[in-house]
Chain A
Amino acid sequence: MSVTYIDAIREAQEDLLREDDRVFLYGQDIASFGGAFKATKGLAEAYPNRVFDSPISEDAMIGLAVGAAIEGMRPIIEMQFADFSSIAFNQIVNQAATHYYRTGMPIPITVRLPSGGTPGSGPFHSQSMEGLYAQYPGLVVVTPATVSDAYHMLIDAVKMDDPVIYCEHKFLYRWLKAKSIKGEHLPIGQARIARPGKHATVVTYSAMVHEAVRAADRLQQDGWEIEVVDLRSVKPLDIDTVLASVARTGRLLAVGEAFPWGGVTAEVVSRVTEEGFHLLDAPPQRLNSRDTPVPYHPKLWAAHRPTPESISEALRKLLSF
């Protein structure tokens, strides 16, 4: 019996609803329909009056959540797609993110963003927004890559007093399976060595962790040992674990599925260059998706995002420097 990444998200929400009266779920079609991806399936029936359908207004959804949080609740908001959260951008970055700083009152909301690309999802249903939200002080941005992290990080996100942007990867929903939901439990803000190695470090997060591990497996056949660091949360960014890895390997490749301009990979390279310049034996490298909207056609999409093949290629170039 195996459980999937989306099972973990559903189970975390169920456990939160059961254990904490302050928790409620709010989002489009999440009640009787169970959500676009069935992440809240059956929860409305099990917890009546605590799982609500929202109007099709992301702005109103976050506005309601901020108000509820002020009144002492711990809402979990499901955005149908991460891409649509741009409509709630003002509420998230101007209201939720700044509230504690302005008033001393925390806003413990959790915003679930179904993120990242899947074949044929096109420009409006594939985007990765973590870099955008991580730019703003006052927000915590998490990007679970494993079934266990999907569960534990959602629990931790809701328990946290800060507003948390929880970026769940749609590609992992049903593809990623584990023997059990609960596993290794690291706190938010701590990165994980997904695969140890000594010749180069790949720093990545979310679905790209799996692509990086596949690339590392390929390079192992040629005798290269690649260390893969799963950031887990992109903000706070666990730069210590990253620097420790670069100290072991001397070579850095930051991989992200988001667009290449700025963002998490740029931050990783910038921080390592700033704090660990003396550790680098080769120019630090980045691999992101292309600087175009996400294409619809599956083949174009496969060429747009980093893949095990392109990560291997980037690593070979880095290793031959």
Chain B
Amino acid sequence: MPIVPILMPQLGESIAEATVIRLDIKVGDEVKTDQEIIEVETNKATMGITTLCNGVVSEIRAVEGVSYSVGSLLGLLEVTEEEIARTGVDTLETLEAKNHSQPQETKSGEENLHFALDGDSYEEDPSIVPTVKGLPVPTGVMGAHYISPRMRARMNDMGLREADISAIAGTGAGGRVTVEDLERFLDYLESWPSAPASPMRLAVADAMRRSWTRPLATVGLPVLLDRLLQHRREQVKKPGLTLYLLRAFAIALKEQPMTAGYLIGEKVVHPRSFDIGVAVQVEDGVVVPAMRKVDQKTLSELVAEYDDLVDRARRRRLTEADSRGGIATVTNFGTFGLTTGTPIPLPNETLILGIGAGRKKPVWSEQVEAFLPATEAELLLTFDHRVVDGGGAGMLLNRVAVLLQQPENL
């Protein structure tokens, strides 16, 4: 039959030992769970030691009047297997297995056993499953959309923007780019040829990056240039193709000023003056000087001003006033032989009107009932879709196309 020890229990905080003052049991006694069997006295109080389970006293080791430290063996009980199973108490065997490194009987009452944890016996309880709250994991942030403070600081050090690190596949939570990812990427780039970017390049990059934070959309339609080119040939001082566009755009915008509105918070700011910028390609970049109040001057009045502006732009002689923004921009990328494109407005503008290169095409003529050769170009309008919709942009673009068919009225 299993033997269960009767031990001196921990009788209170900072109690190291207790004196047995009376034994209420003798060998052969049958005892019940929680029966008081030994009376002990500590330096604080007198109390009874109780049994942990039903059993029969098989041995008594405690002697009345003697002090025993906490954990000392005071006697033994014979207990049935069923009782062990019911109560889950430790038998002498299981206790010894647990305490193989700790002797039960310790030297007198000197040590405070309550806190005598042996170096080898400190083990975590495997039944305790830790519950640790998680971090606020950013969701749907693949790549560089979640920027940690450290990432931000490192990027600022390096002069990097989100767009610069969009090539990095993140290994962090939600696929975010961690600082380690960034450093690995920078190390990788070390082996590639590189050169510092010019201030012009950086200025364009900055403007484009800021503009691209908006939902931009582009619409287009083909426009015939023959009348315009005919008109141009008849002029003494020949206006550039872009100037026709500029003028037609200003007129159309004045009729529909809402389309050039600028969204700030919950407000749409309307144009106060119809100043239109012209994109001029220069070495390693683009500059956009603006022509002022284009709606109030005729084409012929604008020619000198336009030619001067473009000339100074190419020579990099623009003034601060020239560069101050307009409400929209015109770009003629047809000069590069390109037929179509998706121009991007400046960050402070809602619209940009572009035109591609003219091409000879057969166009059906109702008058002569035959295909006739005509010069056609793509007219494109990019707009901030928060402010303008496809319909509004289409109306504006159609109006520009119509105006271009009446160059004498510009």
- A residues at B contact (CB < 8 Å): 33, 36-38, 41, 80-81, 118, 120-122, 124-125, 170-171, 173-175, 177, 250, 277-283, 285, 287, 298-299, 302-303, 307-310, 313-314, 317-318, 320-321
Contacts and interface: CB of A to CB of B under 8 A. Distances in A.
B151 A118 contact: no
Nearest to A173: B115
Nearest to A37: B112
Contact of A313 (B43, B122, B132, B148): B132
A69 B117 CA distance: 36
Interface in B129-176: 130-132, 134-137, 148-153, 172-173
B136 A317 contact: no
B230 to A, nearest CB: 64
A174 B135 CA distance: 36
B111 to A, nearest CB: 7
A21 B43 CA distance: 32
A171 B115 contact: yes
A125 B13 contact: yes
Interface string B82-115: 0000000000000000000000000000111011
Given A277-B149, A287-B132, A307 B124 contact: yes
Among B112, B115, B173, the most chain A Cβ lie within 10 Å of the Cβ of: B115
Given A37-B14, A124-B13, A175-B118, A321 B149 contact: no
B116 interface: yes
B393 interface: no
B114 to A, nearest CB: 7
Contact of A303 (B10, B128, B150): B128
B266 interface: no
Contact of B178 (A36, A281, A299, A307): A281
Contacts of A282: 135, 148
B391 interface: no
B127 interface: yes
Contacts of A320: 172-173
B371 to A, nearest CB: 66
B124 A170 contact: no
Contacts of A124: 13
A306 to B, nearest CB: 9
- Which 9 interchain pairs have the tightest Cβ spacing? A310-B130, A278-B153, A36-B14, A281-B150, A175-B117, A313-B132, A281-B148, A281-B179, A277-B149
Contacts of B320: none
B151 A281 contact: yes
A225 to B, nearest CB: 13
Contacts of A174: 111, 115-118
Nearest to A80: B14
8 contacts: A174-B118, A250-B150, A250-B179, A281-B151, A282-B135, A309-B124, A320-B172, A320-B173
B366 interface: no
Contacts of A302: 124-125, 128
Contacts of A41: 110
A122 B10 CA distance: 13
Given A80-B14, A317-B134, A118 B149 contact: no
Contacts of B119: 175, 177
Contacts of B135: 282-283, 285, 317-318, 321
Query: Which of A121, A174, A287, A307 has the most C-beta atoms of chain B within 10 angstroms of its own C-beta?
Result: A174
A321 B132 contact: no
Most chain B CB inside 10 Å of its own CB: which residue of A118, A125, A321 = A321
B115 A37 contact: yes
Contact of A121 (B13, B131, B178, B179): B13
Interface in B170-210: 172-173, 178-179
Nearest to B179: A281
Contacts of B127: 299
A67 to B, nearest CB: 27
Interface in B17-45: 43
A120 B117 CA distance: 13
A287 B131 CA distance: 11
A80 B136 CA distance: 42
A38 B110 contact: yes
A175 B137 CA distance: 39
Nearest to B148: A281
A122 B12 CA distance: 11
Contact of A309 (B10, B122, B130): B130
Nearest to B13: A125
A310 B114 CA distance: 25
A321 B172 contact: yes
B128 A299 contact: yes
A36 B42 CA distance: 13
B97 to A, nearest CB: 18
Contacts of B13: 36, 81, 121-122, 124-125
Given A37-B14, A175-B122, A309-B124, 15 more contacts: A118-B117, A121-B114, A173-B115, A174-B111, A175-B118, A177-B119, A278-B152, A279-B150, A280-B148, A281-B150, A281-B179, A308-B124, A313-B130, A317-B132, A321-B137
A277 B350 CA distance: 36
Contacts of B125: 298-299, 302
Contacts of A81: 13-14
A178 to B, nearest CB: 11
Contacts of A250: 148, 150, 179
Interface in B286-344: none
B103 to A, nearest CB: 14
Nearest to B173: A321
A247 to B, nearest CB: 9
